[in-house]
Amino acid sequence: MRDTFGYQTVSPKQRQEKISHVFASIAPRYDLMNDLMSFGIHRWWKTRLVHKLRASKNALIVDLAGGTGDVGAKIYKSKGTSVIIVDASKEMVEAGKQKLDLPLHWLVATGEQMPFADNSIDVITLSFGLRNMTDTDAVLQEINRCLKPGGQFLCLEFSTPVFWLKPFYDFYSWAIIPRLGAFVAREPAAYQYLIESIRKFPNQLELCDQFTKAGFGDVEYSNYSFGICALHHGKKPQHLKEHQLERQ
């Protein structure tokens, strides 16, 4: 996906610039659009991610591509642990800071280059952001680098729905969402890209394979809303040998 922007062919640099523009333009109405597009169901999906997360009170959790902080806020309220929200868009981060009055930590950084030491983070979460990063494989490797041995990675992302739902889902995606983007966010092109990016993203099993290749063990996924969304989960092995044995 590093050479595409939706269905357009672009350079990696152009992709990064275009995606930065998308999120800068929709930041003020991003949360409202999420509620409208998903009829509020995205909140339940994110709650499921938080329930899957296992962390002690002393854990350090990073919510990557955390945007305006809705997932980070859920994690903090549920687990009471330290949460760092990392996002490449300073506009999204500023919108989140203005919205939330919680002791969250905020950083502007890309998923490909996070400012954390090796083996320093207990849990990394990523919700609806992996498909918007320039180099998916590099991001997964970077997440693995930052996690402590045994650390969790949870990734919530749009995926491939069951066959009987696909015609209805396609109609809603192509006919309704860009119009919502035009009416509410005044950015139809941004939401056209977001729909195209979902179609270009790997399906459930393909993403599991990418997790494994990046060094994660115990890789599994759960479908939500008949596969419209999927939660992928992996752990950084305690020892390299564990991962090598799993792949044999």
For residues 6 and 164, what is the distance between their CA atoms, to the nearest angstrom? 24
For residues 193 and 226, what is the distance between their CA atoms, to the nearest angstrom? 23
In the chain the domains, ranked by start, together with CATH numbers, are 4-247 (3.40.50.150)
* pLDDT for res 240: 58
Confidence bin at 138 (pLDDT 50/70/90) = very high
Span 162-184, pLDDT tens digits: 999 999 989 888 888 877 767 76
* pLDDT for res 244: 47
Span 12-38, pLDDT tens digits: 777 777 778 777 777 777 777 788 888
For residues 120 and 118, what is the distance between their CA atoms, to the nearest angstrom? 6
> What end-to-end distance do the CA atoms of the chain give, in Å?
28
CB of 46 within 8 A of CB of 70? yes
* pLDDT for res 10: 64
Span 120-137, pLDDT tens digits: 999 999 999 999 898 999
Percent of the chain exceeding pLDDT 90 equals 65
* pLDDT for res 23: 74
Indicate whether this model's pTM tops 0.85. yes
Span 52-102, pLDDT tens digits: 999 988 999 999 999 999 999 999 999 999 999 999 999 999 999 999 999
Confidence bin at 197 (pLDDT 50/70/90) = confident
